[in-house]
Amino acid sequence: MILPKHTLSILLGVVLFLFTSIAFSQTKQIKRPKSRVGISSVDRFVQESFDIYDKVYKYDGYAEAGTPLDDEDIDVLEDALDDLQGLSDSAPNILGDIEGESNVLRQGKATLQTNRAKKALKYSIKTAKKLLLEKREKKDDDEEEDTTTSSDENIETDTPSPENETKNNTPEAQKETGNVSDNLEVYSKFDFVPGDKLLFYDDYQNDFIGDFPSKWNTNATGEVVKITGKGKWFQLKSGGNVYYLPEIDELPENYTIEFDLLTSGLTKKTSSTARLTVAINEENHFDSNSNYVKVSIPLALYAAFSIDTRNRFANGSSNDIQSSIKADIRNAMLNQPHISISVTKNRFRLWINEKKYVDIPKFVNQLNILKYLRFNLYGLEDGTENLYIANLKIAKGGVDLRRKLLSEGKVSTNAILFDSGKATIKPQSLGVVRQISQVLMQDDAIKLNIIGHTDADGSDAVNLKLSKLRAEAVKNALVEIYKISGNRLQTQGKGETEPISDNTTTNGKAQNRRVEFIKI
């Protein structure tokens, strides 16, 4: 039988359509459950999982059909990936809700729907990562060198070699991303105030290059390195290994933790599992089965990942908390961020540079004494992606400098930090300067003498000059940032002449480097 010409054309068109559909076919779509279970956590988990799944499946279809994704599509995918991480983390808690359901039929239905939602989540995470990676590889194909976070910067170990060279930020990269550490103004409302009594400080000055830091312990390895222009840093190794501080006998009820981070070799291909976890544990075991609180800081660059928090108290005296806090800290991770943590009884807060990201009022259970600070590093590629820690400081809190200055007429603090050998205030110190400014704003009649002190390193003449310049720097910050009249402030430098601790130890030197404020 000979078909009419127009009929033949129609059939050819249908065949071509079917061929195209097959060529661009996706994985068979997972069907969304038609009814709810009646367990609120399960229904919410299923609904949110499939809401994200539908978006990702749609964009996957575009990619399969050759339709390019625009910037708005990428933004949606990045947001979806961030939400997916939080949903995945919540899955264990939902399983607990299902197990606690007394209705067997409802329990079975909930299990089936949860498994289907988890399957959708698995597809969504894998596909979203693939689509984002493909988009960025295409965009940056001719700029592969520019995707690294750093330019060559020499790192010294006990056996210097090309393998021991690392990368750090190019001036161009810092200009593009905006290094917050170069701008005091962004810290003008920074409300972190370090503890007033130093408990621990480590700048590795008594450690040799290539050695593991003498004040730390580990079940793995690591080494002190010297980075040109930045001093000594402790390089941690990835793999979930434990690093902790056995010299701390017991953390008090109120305390603060501060340290600087430096990364090198991170690119947009860095694993989504790359994270630094900071934990406070009850025991100094290398396993994590004891009571603890912890926060997990993401290091991946190709999308914005959440900061995760978790606590665990085996005696059941406190409800476990497991949360994911949305945050885009990618630029911060490229620019030597300063991490600040404050523990005030049950309350736990964390700042990255000047911004507070975590504030949980009932996170620490005071019935369990948590006294060991631990670090774990995950997901970095050994040899090419690196993380370093420096200037780790732990201090006992509890004194409000404002009230002490008003009631006693003077305060002394070692929490105003300066660049080594210089009078440049480190931005993270402005929380203290801000408190002093609030006292001056409250009472226009108050005038202050600002006195700088140094440790005993260097000559007497150099230290005397440096202490005077540092006092002037604090005055300038009060005048320029907080608009305090310079007529109300005078400065003085005393160098190393009035030590309050031993100048032969790292902790003692840190206490001697201080600034006094005295009412006049």
Give the C-alpha distances (Å, rounded to integers) separating 273 from 269, 375, 387.
11, 16, 14
Phi–psi pair at 145, nearest 5 degrees: -65, -30
Tokens representing 213 are: 């830091």
- State how far the Cα of 506 lies from the Cα of 248, in Å rounded to an integer: 15
- The DSSP string of 123-177 is HHHHHHHHHHHHHHHHHTGGGGGGGSS-EEE-EE-SS--GGG-EEE--HHHHHHH
β pairing state of 322-325 and 307-312: antiparallel
* 443 backbone φψ class: left, alpha, beta (φ>0; ψ -120 to 50): beta
Would you write out the chain's pLDDT as a tens digit for each of its 520 residues? 554 555 545 544 544 444 444 344 456 788 899 888 888 888 888 888 888 888 888 888 877 776 777 666 776 777 777 667 666 656 656 776 787 777 888 888 888 888 888 888 888 888 888 877 776 555 555 444 444 444 344 566 654 433 343 344 333 333 333 333 345 666 777 878 888 788 899 999 889 999 999 999 998 899 999 998 889 999 999 887 789 888 777 788 889 999 999 999 999 889 988 999 999 888 777 766 678 899 999 999 988 999 999 988 876 555 678 889 989 999 999 989 999 999 988 899 999 998 999 999 989 876 666 778 899 999 999 889 999 999 999 998 766 788 889 889 999 998 898 888 889 888 888 888 988 999 999 899 999 999 999 999 889 999 999 999 999 999 999 998 889 999 999 999 999 999 999 988 888 888 899 999 999 9
- State how far the Cα of 486 lies from the Cα of 318, in Å rounded to an integer: 51
Question: One-letter amino acid identity for 485?
Answer: S
- For 126-151, b/e burial (b = at least 16 CB within 10 A) is ebbbebbeebbeeeeeeeeeebbbbe
- State how far the Cα of 457 lies from the Cα of 512, in Å rounded to an integer: 11
Q: What is the pLDDT of residue 93?
A: 65
**Partners of 231 in the beta sheet?**
227
Give the C-alpha distances (Å, rounded to integers) separating 505 from 206, 328, 372, 508.
9, 39, 22, 5
- State how far the Cα of 206 lies from the Cα of 132, in Å rounded to an integer: 46
Q: Strand ranges (DSSP E) for 447-487?
A: 448-453
- Tokens 């009412």 correspond to 519
